[in-house]
A and B are shown apart, each in its own frame.
Chain A
Amino acid sequence: MISIDARGLDCRALNQAIRSADDDCEISGCTGQRFIGAGLQKKHLLIRGVPGNALGAYLNGADITVGGNAQDAVGDTMNAGMITVHGSIGDAAGYAMRGGMIFIRGNAGYRAGIHMKAYQEKQPVLVIGGRAGSFLGEYQAGGVIIVLGLNQDGKDIVGGFPCAGMYGGRLYLRSDCSKISFPEQTSARPAGPEDLEGIRPYISRFCALFGVDMPYVMGSHFTVVFPNNKNPYRQTYVSDQ
């Protein structure tokens, strides 16, 4: 493990130091440097302090762990690898991600999982331990988003307008969702045994990463949301058959 003190380094110098290191890196004193680990294929990065926007953008196989909070656009367009955040994160996490996994212990801001997509073996996964802000899974086209609602602040598991524009993938909320309304182009139903079996590996991993009791998490109602049609927006502007 190579130690890098991020104090006084701008984002370019910091990323250069990461790329030129021939081992895993522990980065201390992070103060908002952007694009940390962008496009990185290998190595493990352990980050202390607050990493800047677009952490792990275009990530391509590396493994990033953040000890505290992270800012906006975590895992923007990531392709492979894993990002683990022990705190909470800002807006637009997993923006257009198309592979790999993101695990957040705390809460996510607005637009988490916006425009996630999937193709063949590329099946991205975003797991949020706490609550998510408004527009969760906006324009989701593929992949799996899971929100566990383990937050202690009494706030709802998700803000307004979840799944707006959703046309692919699956979204799981650990809630009966009785007070949540979803768009008419989606269907929401209680998750059955098969659904839960499908997400069990991701929740198991979440619980292992953060030391959370698995039976406690799985012992609640889950709701699954998915688009109710292969082409739900064909009449939005013009007929698109």
Chain B
Amino acid sequence: MKLLEGQVRIPSGCAICAVISKKGRLMTAEKIISGIKVMHERSNGLGGGFAGYGIYPKYRDFYALHLFYSSSIAQAETEQLLKDRFYIVKAENIPTRKTPFIKDAPLIWRYFVVPPAPLLDSVQLDEKEEIVRMVMKINTEVKGAYVFSSGKNMGAFKAMGYPEDVGFFYGLDEYEGYAWTAHGRYPTNTPGWWGGAHPFALLDYSVVHNGEISSYDANRRFIEMFGYRCTLQTDTEAITYIADYLLRRQGLTLEELANVIAAPFWSVIDQKGEEEKRQLQYLRTVFSGLLVTGPFSIVLGFEGGLMALNDRLKLRSMVVGEKDDTVYIASEEAAIHAMEPAVGNICAPSGGEPVIIRAEEGSF
């Protein structure tokens, strides 16, 4: 049975953390692990995860699909689907280390794939849409299989456990990326399980989230009209699909995305100048079903950058700091100091005010 958010309730916060080099300088995950570890008490061991950008330079032209399988039957069925539709240039176990803190691991695999050009012509889809459809197909139709990462030259890594242990488990100190995000989970409302850990990723978009989405069902119903399927029993995946829908399919800018999901109050819009007022009214009206209410602080990762955003009431904390070409984001200032003791320009963005950091073009 497909369980939606709200059908299982576990009354029980979260930690988010991110780092990016504006010069595209590669960093192992050691720094971000030291940051998320400081916020240990914000999680309870029921989920931890990371997203790294720029980690697969050798396969940068291929989509890296990361999968959890609960059985070899699920794996066989999934691989048949992949072979039928895509070129697979490499298929392998994602290497993991043994640690007593991460138990009951599923089978964890990755595939570097690309849809063949004739296929795309025949179905008149672009490459990214073909990948999204495959992800949704596997996640809804193959019992025991979940695609949890599907972007180019990036990857999400997640598990049941505390984030610092998850980082060790996947050996993320051996990966190098120009941007990282991290999450420590303390599930509210929904079960802790491998698929429910953050980040939630689709194509190169990934989301880590602290909070809970009061508008989940309204958002889910809207986004499911456009082929997305919420299958992971938690609210955050809806934000990832909303980002993909608005940025990739509707062609909105990141600022516009922020003005949809964390739309200003009508009373605030009324005080704006005519042009801005018209734009904000348009976004709130056309995409009213994608307004995300309830407390949240999120970091959205995308190819070449990060965006941090709080809900408009700022019901969750988030702090940003910088040193040289590197920008740090975390739920707590202490985590930023752990990543970079000499950090400066510490600030807390206002509710609904997006902080967008991009790596220089050509550097990643």
Contacts and interface: CB of A to CB of B under 8 A. Distances in A.
B346 A159 contact: no
B247 interface: no
Interface string B333-360: 1110110000000101011000000000
Nearest to B330: A32
Contacts of B40: 10
Contacts of A32: 38-39, 332-335, 338
Interface size bucket, A side? 20 to 34
A94 to B, nearest CB: 16
B314 A133 contact: yes
B41 interface: yes
A210 B317 CA distance: 27
A50 B317 contact: no
Interface in A126-159: 133-135, 159
Given A133-B314, A134-B314, A34 B41 contact: yes
B117 interface: no
A31 B351 contact: no
A91 interface: yes
Contacts of A110: 314, 351
B268 interface: yes
A32 B184 CA distance: 15
A134 B350 contact: yes
Contact of A50 (B314, B333, B350): B333
A160 B271 CA distance: 12
Contact of A31 (B313, B319, B337): B337
A10 B334 CA distance: 13
B72 to A, nearest CB: 42
Contacts of B39: 32
A71 B332 contact: yes
B314 A71 contact: no
A133 B337 contact: no
Interface in A81-100: 88, 90-91
Contact of B337 (A49, A90, A91): A49
A30 B338 CA distance: 10
B332 A52 contact: yes
Nearest to A155: B350
A76 interface: no
A135 B265 CA distance: 14
B317 A71 contact: yes
Contacts of A31: 38, 334, 337-338
B338 A90 contact: no
A218 to B, nearest CB: 29
Contacts of B351: 110, 134
A63 interface: no
B268 A91 contact: no
Question: Which among A31, A32, A91 has the greatest number of chain B C-beta atoms within 10 A?
Answer: A32
Contacts of A162: none
Question: Which among A90, A134, A135, A160 has the greatest number of chain B C-beta atoms within 10 A?
Answer: A160
Contacts of A134: 313-314, 350-351
A49 B332 CA distance: 13
A53 B348 CA distance: 15
Contacts of A49: 334, 337
B350 A159 contact: yes
A69 B41 contact: no
A205 B143 CA distance: 67
Nearest to B13: A53
B353 to A, nearest CB: 10
A27 B268 CA distance: 44
A90 B333 CA distance: 9
B348 A50 contact: no
Contacts of A109: 314, 317, 348
A210 B307 CA distance: 36
Contacts of B333: 32, 50, 69, 71, 90
A11 B41 contact: yes
Contact of A91 (B314, B334, B338): B314
Interface string B232-253: 0000000000000000000000
26 contacts: A10-B41, A11-B41, A30-B334, A31-B334, A31-B338, A32-B38, A32-B335, A34-B41, A49-B334, A50-B333, A50-B337, A52-B334, A53-B332, A71-B333, A71-B334, A72-B332, A90-B317, A90-B319, A91-B314, A91-B348, A109-B314, A109-B317, A109-B348, A110-B351, A133-B348, A134-B350
Given A71-B332, A134-B350, 10 more contacts: A10-B40, A31-B337, A32-B332, A53-B332, A90-B348, A91-B314, A91-B348, A109-B348, A134-B313, A134-B314
Closest 9 CB pairs of A and B: A32-B334, A50-B334, A110-B314, A31-B334, A32-B38, A50-B333, A72-B317, A109-B348, A32-B332
